[in-house]
Amino acid sequence: MPKPDEPGYYKHEDLLSVDYRPPRTDWMDTPVDFRRGTYCYPGKVKNLKILDLPNAREWAVGDDDWKLPDDWKQTVLDGMAERLSKYRSFKLFMDICVRCGACADKCHFFIGGGDPKNMPVLRAELLRSIYRREFTTLGKVLGKIAGGRELTVDVIKEWFYYFHQCTECRRCSVFCPYGIDTAEITIMGRELLGLLGLYVNWVIEPVANCFLYGNHLAIQPHGLMDTLEFMVDDIEEATGIRVDLPMNKKGAEILFVVPSGDYVADPGIYTCMAYMVLFHELGLDYTFSTYASEGGNFGLFTSHEMMKRLNAKIYDEAKRLGVKWILGGECGHMWRVMHQYMDTMNGPADFLEVPKSPITGTVFDNARSTKMVHLMEFTADLIQHGKLKLDPSRNDHIRVTYHDSCNPARAMGILEEPRYVIRNVCNHFFEMPINTIREQTFCCGGGAGLGTDENMEIRLRGGLPRGNAVRYVQEKHGVNQLAAMCAIDRATLPTVCDYWAPGVKVTGITELVANALVLKGEKKRTHNLRLEPIPGMEENDEGAIPSDE
C-alpha cells in the first residue's frame, strides 16, 4: 500500500474531481485541516541553532501546542509594523486590493485543489485581516465589519499552512490590475512565522547546510570533487574526451555558479556534465568553487536577511579568486536572487569587470552592474556567432517542449534565449499552450521549498496545470521530453510528469546542447550523456541519419 508521501497513494480521478465550491462556514471561522500529504514537517532544532534562529524546539504540526514563545502575539505585531515601514510593497499590497478575484484561478494550487484559501486574494487576506484590525482606523473601530479579525494561535497555524502552499511563483501578479505580488505577501508571512521559530525543515535544513558548507546538500569539498570526477569519467565514456575540472582556481576569468541539485540529482547531473563539456570545448578559463558551490538560495524562502546571508559568498568568492565576472547555470529561483537582489544586498561588485564573452567578444551590457551572466544568454550568443558546431540530428529522437521556470520568466523575462538555443540543438520543438508558457507559465508545484515528499498531495495538485499542458503536447505532438532551466524543476517535474503525463522525461537545456555539440577529437557519439544509446547513431550505420518524420 502506498503512503501519503508517495504519488501512488493518490488516484487520478480523485485529484481531478476538484471541488471549487467554498465551504459553508465563513473563511474566518474555518480552521485548518492538517491532512497528511498536505503540509511540510517543522524545522529541526539543530538547523535553527546553526543559524541562530529564535525558539528552536521540538514540535510537530499535528500538536495542539506549537510551543510558541510567551510574547508571540506582540512579536508578530511588532514584526508586521517593522515590515510595513520597511517595504512599500507590503504596505501597499495590504491597502489596495479590491478583491476583484482576477487572481483566483491563476494559482496552480487553487486550480488543482479548489481550496479557497489558495486563491491568491484570500491567501493575502489571511494577513490583511490582521492588518486591518491592528493597523487601520476603520478596522480598529469597526472590527469584523471592516474585515478585521483577532490574531490567535489558529491564525498562526493557518499562516503556516497556507504560506507553505504558495511557491512564490508570481503568476497571480501578472494578472493583478495593481500588480499585487503574492510572493511578497508569502515572504512577509514566512518572515513573521520565522520570528516564532516556525520553519519548514525542507527549507531550513538546506539553508543551514548552505550556510556551513556552501551548498544546500551539505556536500563537502572532497565530496564535491569526487562527484564531479565521476562525471568527468562518464563524459569520457560518452564522448571520448576527458574534460578538465577547474575547482577553486585563483585567477580564472570566470566563476561558474550552479544550483547544487545539478551535482547529485538525476537528471540535473547530466546538465552539470553538459556544462563541463561545453566549457571544455570552448577552452573557457573558468572555475567552480566549493565555497560558492550553490547558486540557489533557500534564504529567499526564509527571509530577506537569510537570503542576504547565503548570497554573500558569491561576490566574496569572486573577489577571493580574483575572477573577472560570474556566469550562472540553469536555475530558477537562483536567478531571481542574482537578478533582483544580489547587487542590492551584497554589491557593489566594483572589483569585477563588465562581463565580456572571451569567445565572441560580446559585452553583456545588460549585466554591467551585477556582473553576472545567465548561461542561456552566453550560449545563445555563442550560437548566434556560429561558435558552436552543432549536429541537432543527434537529438532527433527527442521531441521536446520547453517549460519556462517561474522566476526567469517573471522576474527577468529571459524567454527567447532558451528557445533560440533549443531550436538550434533540436529539430523537434513544440510549445505548450500559450496560457501555460512565457510570463503565464505554471509552476512545477514544488518551488519555494515545497518540493518534499511529505507534501505530495499538494505537489501533485499544484503540478496539475503544468502536467496537463505537458500531456496536451504529448498527445498532440508526441512530445517525449520536457526541457527546463531550473534545478527545482529537474527535481520535481519528473514526479509531476510521471503522474500527469507518463512517458515524458525531464532534461536541462545545456544537456541538449552538449549532446548536439560536435567536439574536437570526439569519438563517434553513439551514446548521450546519460550513456543511453542514441537511436540512429548505432555503430554500424556509417553516415546514414534516419529521420523520424
Restricting to residues 481-520, which ones interact with other proteins according to CB under 8 A?
A: none
Q: Which of 130, 150, 153, 159 has the alpha carbon at shortest distance from 67?
A: 153
Among 175, 202, 279, 325, binds other proteins (CB under 8 A): 175
Answer yes or no whether residue 92 interacts with other proteins by CB under 8 A.
Answer: yes
Residue placing its CB nearer to other proteins in the complex, 112 or 267: 112
Q: How far is the CB of 129 from other proteins (least distance, A)?
A: 9
Residue placing its CB nearer to other proteins in the complex, 72 or 163: 163
Residue placing its CB nearer to other proteins in the complex, 18 or 241: 18
Restricting to residues 271-310, which ones interact with other proteins according to CB under 8 A?
A: 290-291, 304-305, 308-309
Q: How far is the CB of 105 from other proteins (least distance, A)?
A: 4
Q: Tell me which stretch binds other proteins (CB under 8 A): 13-21, 188-196, 199-207, 531-539.
A: 13-21
Length of the chain: 549
Task: Compute the distance between CA of residue 365 and CA of residue 108 in angstroms, rounded to an integer.
Answer: 35
What mask of x and - would describe binding to other proteins in positions 196 to 235, judged by CB under 8 A? ---------------xxxx-----xxx--xx---------
Q: Which of 332, 469, 478, 483 has the alpha carbon at shortest distance from 401?
A: 483
Among 41, 178, 230, 351, binds other proteins (CB under 8 A): 178
Q: Which of 285, 288, 281 has the alpha carbon at shortest distance from 260?
A: 288
Q: How far is the CB of 343 from other proteins (least distance, A)?
A: 5
C-alpha cell at 179: 500588480
Q: Phi and psi for 507 in degrees, rounded to 5?
A: -140, 155
Q: How far is the CB of 19 from other proteins (least distance, A)?
A: 11
Q: Tell me which stretch binds other proteins (CB under 8 A): 63-71, 188-196, 468-476, 508-516.
A: 468-476
What mask of x and - would describe binding to other proteins in positions 116 to 155, judged by CB under 8 A? x--x-xx--x----------xxx------xxx--------
Largest distance between two CA atoms of the chain: 84
Residue placing its CB nearer to other proteins in the complex, 441 or 515: 441
Buried b (16+ CB within 10 A) or exposed e, 436-453: bbbebbbbbbbbbbbbbb
Task: Compute the distance between CA of residue 488 and CA of residue 322 in angstroms, rounded to an integer.
Answer: 30
Task: Compute the distance between CA of residue 482 and CA of residue 53 in angstroms, rounded to an integer.
Answer: 39
Answer yes or no whether residue 460 interacts with other proteins by CB under 8 A.
Answer: no
Restricting to residues 23-82, which ones interact with other proteins according to CB under 8 A?
A: 27, 52
Q: Check if the beta carbon of residue 224 is closer than 8 Å to that of residue 290.
A: yes
Q: How far is the CB of 35 from other proteins (least distance, A)?
A: 21
Residue placing its CB nearer to other proteins in the complex, 223 or 536: 223
Q: Tell me which stretch binds other proteins (CB under 8 A): 169-177, 396-404, 451-459, 534-542.
A: 169-177
The string of DSSP letters for 477-524 reads H---EEEES-HHHHHHHHHHHHHHSTT-EEE-HHHHHHHHB--TTPPP
Among 9, 59, 420, 430, binds other proteins (CB under 8 A): 420
Residue 133's contacts (CB-CB under 8 Å, 6 or more residues apart) are 139, 140, 143, 148, 149, 150, 151
State the DSSP H helix or E strand holding residue 467, giving kind and residue range, or none if neither: helix 464-477
State the DSSP H helix or E strand holding residue 120, giving kind and residue range, or none if neither: helix 120-135
Looking at residue 366, what DSSP letter applies?
G
Q: Check if the beta carbon of residue 269 is closer than 8 Å to that of residue 263.
A: yes
Size of the site for other proteins (CB under 8 A): 118
Restricting to residues 372-401, which ones interact with other proteins according to CB under 8 A?
A: 372, 377, 380-381, 384
Q: Tell me which stretch binds other proteins (CB under 8 A): 41-49, 93-101, 151-159, 533-541.
A: 93-101
Q: How far is the CB of 215 from other proteins (least distance, A)?
A: 11
Answer yes or no whether residue 368 interacts with other proteins by CB under 8 A.
Answer: yes
